[in-house]
């Protein structure tokens, strides 16, 4: 099966498979109907403290990746559930961050071994 990344503000596509929102907060200005989210996995997202510390600052990117991977290692139940989902079907991880090169979805995808 395949694992894709997509900003939640992009339109739904038939190739998306199961759409999993991986943000702790609901995306601004988007209704639940328009988002077309199948699963909202809040617990897989970075902790509020880590999210605030990072602040989407590219200068903190390397350290953010290390810290978020550490959080993922301490959250085996959520990680295993996501891995199970990916083994069964195509999955698209949805995130709201504007920066498509420096966000937690990239770290999570790599952590799951699906670069």
**Cα within 13 Å of Cα(79), Cβ side:** 17
- Distance (Å, rounded) from C-alpha 112 to C-alpha 115? 8
Quick check: 115 pLDDT over 50?
no
Least confident of 19-23, 58-62, 83-87, 104-108: 83-87
What CA–CA distance (Å, rounded) separates 3 from 109?
Answer: 8
> What is the percentage of the chain residues whose pLDDT exceeds 70?
98
Q: pTM score, two decimals?
A: 0.93
CA-to-CA distance for 89 and 82, rounded, in angstroms? Answer: 11
Is pLDDT above 70 for 114?
A: no
Q: And the tokens for 12? A: 């739904």
Residue ranges of the domains in the chain? 3-111
pLDDT tens, residue by residue, 36-84? 999 999 999 999 999 999 999 999 999 999 999 999 999 999 999 999 9
Q: From the CB of residue 107, how many other CB atoms can be counted at a distance below 10 Å?
A: 20
């Amino acid at each position: 099966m395949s694992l894709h990344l997509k900003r939640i503000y992009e339109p739904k596509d038939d190739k998306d498979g199961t759409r999993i929102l991986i943000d702790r907060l609901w995306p601004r200005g988007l209704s639940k109907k328009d988002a077309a989210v199948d699963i909202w996995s809040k617990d897989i997202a970075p902790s509020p403290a880590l999210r605030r510390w990072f602040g989407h600052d590219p200068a903190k990117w390397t350290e953010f990746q290390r810290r978020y991977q550490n959080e993922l290692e301490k959250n085996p139940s959520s990680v295993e559930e996501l891995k199970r989902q990916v083994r069964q079907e195509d999955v698209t991880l949805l995130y709201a961050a504007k920066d498509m090169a420096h966000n937690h979805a990239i770290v999570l995808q790599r952590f799951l071994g699906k670069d």
